[in-house]
């Protein structure tokens, strides 16, 4: 245990996860200017006495009107999961640019780079990670260690494992400002670890001693920029920057924190590739799939190529432009639908004005959802 802690005492870890965050909320800061209170769908009036059927004529990809999305009302639309199939259209346009062929004899060893602290990190993947962040400008990468893990849940638990004191008399408290990512409590306590435990809302935290504060910015679920709120001695910050990508929020400056969590499933939409802290991952899964890393490297390279060679690109829009425009259109449709509805839900450690909706499903499912939402009577 002491040896593990000494490995992770190194500062400035830069962490990547290619994984699906189950039950997450997409948010985009540019919608703030539109007047939408993010997922706080609270009507300006206490009661809406009249609601009419929503009619939308603005285009959304190939679906131009709600009428084109034939819906008998029998199909189940599951928007609880953040399955990023919205991006399929873009990657179909890219054709074979992200196709990967791996011979059966290749990548058979456990080891990728024994000179790296993260010995299972593929060098090409690391190269493309750094390149993409420099192109986007959303994170400082110089002098950082990149650690790759199998899924964001493993990544999060690995970070807690690395940050928690190994010789403490009681578990270290883990807190976050509400509203917080809905899975933080269950993820923190799922292993019933003696090293750490969920302690709830950061504003209410008054216990003396060490603590870990999760800072999610832009925040999940409300999309706001976040900073630490406890700010006491013996505290350690863990920055979750899953949504600090151009289609969700303006990139004002490169993030520069000691430990930053990024997930490529939120940036490229490739949730099916499961790509952290080294020792935890070593003990848990003995490394990370090389095939996934190679495919991820190919995808990241394709995105960076479209930006660095935009004039030569065969695709009309860069990936983040495509994603931004789709998100903007979806927010417009959703905002109009919410005007005709008054639904809510209690889930994020705050009141019932917050609801959880994935914005990343395929066009036809999202259109069906908006159409149904507009007809709900409360």
With a pLDDT cut of 90, the percent of the chain lying above it is 32
Cα–Cα distances in angstroms (integers) from residue 76 to residues 62, 84, 158, 334, in the given order: 22, 17, 35, 18
Which is more confidently placed, 375 or 184? Answer: 184
Instruction: Please determine, for residue 27, whether its predicted confidence score (pLDDT) is greater than 50.
Output: no
With a pLDDT cut of 70, the percent of the chain lying above it is 71
Each residue of 56-89: pLDDT tens digit? Answer: 333 454 454 544 556 666 777 776 667 778 888 8
> What 3-state class would DSSP assign to 333?
helix
CA gap 184, 198 in Å, rounded? 8
Tokens for 300, please give them: 């990241």
Confidence category of residue 14, pLDDT binned at 50, 70, 90 = very low
DSSP 8-state secondary structure symbol assigned to residue 63: B
CA gap 362, 338 in Å, rounded? 20
The chain-wide mean pLDDT, for the chain, equals 76
Is residue 235 a contact partner of residue 213, using CB atoms and an 8 Å limit?
Answer: yes
Instruction: Please determine, for residue 271, whether its predicted confidence score (pLDDT) is greater than 60.
Output: no
pLDDT of residue 72: 66
pLDDT of residue 227: 94
CA gap 39, 24 in Å, rounded? 12
Across the beta sheet with 211-216, the strand order is: 145-149, 13-17, 259-263, 235-240, 211-216, 172-176, 196-201
pLDDT of residue 47: 32
> What 3-state class would DSSP assign to 33?
helix
Lowest-confidence pick of 60-64, 120-124, 303-307, 343-347: 60-64
DSSP symbols for 67-95: GGS---S-S----SS---GGGHHHHHHTG
How large is the average pLDDT for residues 188-193? 91
CA 122 to chain CA centroid, Å, is 22
CA gap 363, 298 in Å, rounded? 25
Which is more confidently placed, 52 or 194? Answer: 194
pLDDT of residue 13: 44
How large is the average pLDDT for residues 146-172? 88
* Torsion sign (Cα): 113, 301, 26, 178: positive
Which is more confidently placed, 143 or 352? Answer: 143
pLDDT of residue 59: 43
Extract the runs of DSSP E, i.e. beta strands, from the chain.
Answer: 13-17, 145-149, 172-176, 196-201, 211-216, 235-240, 259-263
Which is more confidently placed, 62 or 228? Answer: 228
Report the b/e string of 277-312 with b at 16+ CB within 10 A. bbbbbbebeebbbbebbbbbbbbbbbbbbbbeeeee
Which is more confidently placed, 359 or 53? Answer: 359
Burial class (CB in 10 A: 0-12, 13-18, 19+), 1: exposed
pLDDT of residue 115: 93
How large is the average pLDDT for residues 312-318? 66
Confidence category of residue 341, pLDDT binned at 50, 70, 90 = low
Confidence category of residue 134, pLDDT binned at 50, 70, 90 = very high
Confidence category of residue 113, pLDDT binned at 50, 70, 90 = very high
> Which residues partner with 147 through β-bridges?
15
Cα–Cα distances in angstroms (integers) from residue 13 to residues 75, 117, 139, 254, 333, in the given order: 44, 11, 12, 15, 39
pLDDT of residue 210: 95
Each residue of 203-224: pLDDT tens digit? Answer: 999 999 999 999 999 998 888 9
Report the b/e string of 173-205 with b at 16+ CB within 10 A. bbbbbbbbbbbbbebbeeeeeebbbbbbebeeb
Phi, then psi, of 185 in degrees rounded to 5: -60, -50
How large is the average pLDDT for residues 121-149? 92
**The whole model's pTM is what?**
0.72
Lowest-confidence pick of 14-18, 107-111, 158-162, 320-324: 14-18
pLDDT of residue 282: 81
Instruction: Please determine, for residue 54, whether its predicted confidence score (pLDDT) is greater than 90.
Output: no
pLDDT of residue 229: 95
């Amino acid at each position: 245990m002491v040896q593990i802690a000494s490995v992770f005492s190194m500062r400035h870890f830069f962490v990547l996860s290619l994984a699906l965050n189950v039950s997450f909320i997409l948010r985009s800061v540019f919608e703030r200017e539109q007047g939408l209170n993010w997922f706080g769908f609270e009507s300006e009036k206490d009661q809406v006495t009249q609601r009419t059927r929503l009619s939308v004529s603005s285009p959304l990809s190939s679906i131009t009107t709600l009428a084109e999305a034939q819906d008998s009302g029998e199909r189940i639309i599951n928007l609880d999961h953040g399955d990023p199939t919205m991006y399929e259209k873009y990657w179909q346009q890219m054709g074979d640019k992200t196709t990967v062929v791996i011979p059966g004899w290749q990548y058979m060893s456990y080891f990728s780079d024994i000179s790296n602290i993260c010995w299972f990190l593929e060098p090409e993947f690391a190269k493309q990670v750094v390149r993409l962040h420099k192109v986007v400008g959303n994170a400082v990468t110089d002098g950082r260690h990149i650690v790759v893990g199998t899924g964001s849940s493993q990544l999060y638990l690995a970070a807690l494992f690395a940050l928690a004191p190994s010789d403490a008399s009681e578990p270290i408290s883990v807190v976050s400002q509400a509203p917080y990512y809905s899975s933080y409590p269950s993820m923190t306590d799922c292993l019933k670890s003696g090293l750490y435990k969920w302690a709830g809302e950061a504003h209410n935290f008054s216990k003396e001693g060490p603590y870990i504060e999760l800072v999610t910015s832009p925040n999940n679920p409300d999309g706001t920029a976040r900073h630490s709120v406890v700010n006491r001695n013996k505290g350690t910050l863990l920055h979750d920057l899953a949504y600090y990508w151009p289609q969700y929020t303006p990139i004002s400056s490169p993030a520069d924190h000691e430990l930053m969590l990024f997930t490529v499933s939120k940036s490229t939409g490739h949730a099916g590739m499961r790509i952290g802290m080294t020792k935890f991952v070593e003990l848990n899964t003995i490394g990370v799939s090389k095939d996934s890393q190679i495919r991820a490297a190919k995808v990241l390279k394709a995105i960076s190529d479209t930006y660095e060679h935009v004039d030569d690109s065969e695709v009309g829009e860069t990936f983040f432009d495509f994603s931004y425009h789709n998100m903007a259109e979806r927010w417009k449709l959703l905002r109009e639908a919410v005007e005709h509805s008054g639904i809510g839900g209690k889930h994020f450690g705050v009141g019932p004005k917050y609801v959880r909706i994935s914005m990343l499903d395929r066009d036809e499912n999202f259109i069906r959802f908006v159409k149904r939402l507009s007809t709900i009577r409360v």
